[in-house]
Amino acid sequence: MSEIGPGPEENRTSGQAPAATESVQPKVTELERETRQWAMFIHFSLLAGWVVPLAGLVVPILLWQMKKDELPGIVPHAHVVLNWIVTSLVYALISLVLMIVLVGILGIIALAIATLIFAIVGGLKANEGKVWEYPGTIIKVFK
């Protein structure tokens, strides 16, 4: 045995089974798991607009309205997404006006990339049980 304690070789030869490591994460209830899953869907539903026009605006609202009474834990996630929708519409309008001088094209591209990244990060955080505020959300209609 060394001065700092038994080494791995000594633990194996001592005849004792290694201690089971306890899980650090608490047990997640079925309701919490379902809440996290639907919150993730709400964030990812922003990307539906890339497949069907205007679906990124409608689908998050529909999911929120369908599940808000059954799963109250999704409400903060829906508010984050809806605030981003309102803010991104303002950014898009500003970019459309700036397209007169060709700068707005960069704004639209940046907005599309930001929406993609924010939806993915927000969905992953929601699956961990955390509410992630989208950076750059300047208009907070829903609190």
Compute the average pLDDT of residues 109-122: 94
**Each residue of 14-34: pLDDT tens digit?**
455 555 555 555 677 888 999
Compute the average pLDDT of residues 111-129: 94
pTM equals 0.75
**Each residue of 33-67: pLDDT tens digit?**
999 999 999 999 999 988 998 898 899 999 999 98
pLDDT of 9 higher than 60: no
Domain ranges (residues) in the chain: 27-127
| Whole-number pLDDT of residue 131 | 92
| Average confidence score pLDDT of the chain | 84
| Whole-number pLDDT of residue 25 | 58
User: Distance from first CA to last CA of the chain, Å, rounded?
Assistant: 60
Rounded percentage of the chain residues whose pLDDT exceeds 90: 57
Bridge partners for 5 per DSSP: 2
